[in-house]
């Protein structure tokens, strides 16, 4: 399981836990009051600690992966350098062996010339006559021609071997250069892939952090709304008590149930039906269930709240104007 998925599951589980706690209560105002500042601060610290641990583990794993890649590349380069050194040593040994063979051939040729010269001198000293001298001279010329032909053949063979060795060295250098280019391209591709992975992970992390911040801001806004609703309810209750006392002085009996209906609609006790109708429409536009279709828990809470608003409106409508379709005549 990836780190991003774990973070999403942690955030989702914490949000679901908060929503479940809110859904366990029956009254919407009590559900909003349940989210205290201490709970939100504690949840924020917990999420920050988890996010810090997750980011630290991800950085350590990334550093270990880069260290392993560097070590593998160093080992591969060392092995390649050792192979090139071995090839160079073998080539040097072959050249030394060829040089020794050439020296031995030259020495043998010199020995043959010396031997022929000695033979000629011996024949001349014995005085074998002109025919023998001519035959010896012809033999020496043939031997010299043969030696020259052999020397030319050796020179051609040596030139051919040098050309072949130069061609082999050139091919080895070209192969090494191609391997170096391929390895550099592979290393660049790995670095680019790692950079893209890190950028994607950073983007996902930033998205998760933004979502967590948005959830925290929503929770704080709900807490602020709950506190404001509580204050408005207290102010409405105080005002209702004041009006009740005022109307009691005029002979009007205070009804606790009616006061609750006024408090649900965020109105003062004894408000007229026109004010009730305006407040009902405004609150329904704010908490209508169709506005929360993407979140089932919020939609369920909005449905319960809208039912409470509708009940309060209907009861006050019956009380103030005598029932539906009669408020327009007031």
As a whole number of angstroms, the distance between CA 207 and CA 202 comes to 8
Q: Work out the pLDDT band at 308, boundaries 50, 70, 90.
A: very high
Specify the pTM: 0.27
CA distances from 32 to 36, 91, 226, 288, 327 (A): 9, 86, 5, 17, 33
| Per-domain boundaries in the chain | 3-126+173-223, 255-329
Highest mean pLDDT among 40-49, 135-144, 149-158, 279-288: 279-288
Q: Work out the pLDDT band at 327, boundaries 50, 70, 90.
A: low
User: What is the structure's pLDDT at 309?
Assistant: 94
Question: Would you say domain 255-329 falls under CATH 1.10.3470?
Answer: no
Q: Work out the pLDDT band at 165, boundaries 50, 70, 90.
A: confident
User: What is the structure's pLDDT at 132?
Assistant: 64
pLDDT average, residue stretch 299-310: 93
| Residue pointed to by tokens 């020995």 | 111
User: What is the structure's pLDDT at 241?
Assistant: 56
With 0-12 CB in 10 A as exposed, 13-18 as middle and 19+ as buried, what is 254? middle
Reported as a single tens digit per residue, the pLDDT across 215-226 is: 888 878 887 887
Q: Work out the pLDDT band at 29, boundaries 50, 70, 90.
A: low
**Quick one: which of 53, 67, 3, 6 has its CA closest to 200?**
3
> Residue 78 is encoded by which pair of tokens?
């060392």
Q: What is the distance in angstroms between the CA of the first residue and the CA of the last residue of the chain? A: 66
- Asked whether residue 22 carries a pLDDT value surpassing 90, the answer given is no
Phi/psi at 3 (nearest 5 deg)? -65, -40
- Asked whether residue 151 carries a pLDDT value surpassing 50, the answer given is yes
Phi/psi at 329 (nearest 5 deg)? -85, -5
**Quick one: which of 2, 11, 9, 3 has its CA closest to 209?**
11
CA distances from 168 to 128, 163, 174 (A): 56, 9, 10
CA distances from 206 to 192, 200, 210 (A): 21, 10, 6
Q: Comparing 235 with 130, which gets the higher pLDDT?
A: 235
User: What is the structure's pLDDT at 245?
Assistant: 46
User: What is the structure's pLDDT at 250?
Assistant: 40
3-state secondary structure of 222: helix
Q: Work out the pLDDT band at 251, boundaries 50, 70, 90.
A: very low
Range of weakest confidence among 194-208, 249-263, 289-303: 249-263
| Residue pointed to by tokens 């979502």 | 211
- Asked whether residue 135 carries a pLDDT value surpassing 60, the answer given is yes
Helices (H) and strands (E) in the chain, counts: 7, 0
Q: Work out the pLDDT band at 252, boundaries 50, 70, 90.
A: very low
3-state secondary structure of 188: helix
- Asked whether residue 187 carries a pLDDT value surpassing 80, the answer given is yes
User: What is the structure's pLDDT at 263?
Assistant: 93
């Amino acid at each position: 399981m990836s780190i991003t998925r774990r973070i999403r599951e942690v955030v989702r589980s914490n949000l679901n836990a908060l929503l479940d706690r809110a859904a366990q209560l029956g009254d919407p105002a009590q559900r909003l009051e349940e989210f205290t500042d201490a709970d939100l601060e504690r949840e924020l610290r917990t999420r920050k600690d988890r996010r810090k641990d997750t980011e630290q583990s991800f950085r350590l794993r990334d550093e270990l992966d880069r260290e392993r890649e560097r070590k593998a590349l160093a080992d591969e380069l060392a092995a390649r350098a050792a192979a090139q050194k071995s090839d160079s040593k073998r080539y040097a040994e072959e050249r030394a062996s060829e040089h020794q063979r050439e020296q031995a051939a030259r020495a043998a040729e010199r020995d043959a010339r010396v031997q022929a010269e000695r033979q000629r001198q011996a024949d001349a000293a014995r005085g074998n006559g002109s025919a023998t001298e001519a035959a010896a001279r012809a033999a020496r010329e043939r031997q010299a021609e043969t030696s020259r032909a052999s020397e030319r053949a050796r020179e051609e063979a040596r030139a051919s071997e040098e050309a072949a060795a130069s061609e082999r060295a050139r091919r080895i250098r070209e192969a090494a250069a191609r391997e170096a280019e391929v390895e550099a391209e592979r290393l660049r591709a790995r670095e680019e892939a790692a950079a893209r992975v890190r950028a994607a992970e950073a983007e996902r992390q930033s998205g998760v952090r933004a979502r967590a911040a948005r959830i925290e801001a929503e929770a704080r806004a709900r807490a602020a709304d709950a506190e404001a609703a509580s204050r408005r309810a207290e102010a409405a209750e105080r005002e209702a008590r004041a009006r009740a006392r005022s109307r009691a002085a005029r002979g009007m009996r205070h009804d606790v149930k009616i006061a609750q209906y006024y408090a649900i609609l965020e109105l003062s006790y004894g408000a007229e039906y026109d004010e009730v109708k305006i407040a009902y429409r405004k609150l329904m536009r704010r908490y209508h269930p169709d506005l929360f279709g993407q979140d089932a828990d919020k939609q369920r809470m909005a449905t319960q709240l809208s039912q409470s608003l509708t009940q309060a409106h209907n009861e006050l409508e019956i009380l103030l104007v005598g029932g539906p379709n009669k408020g327009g005549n007031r």
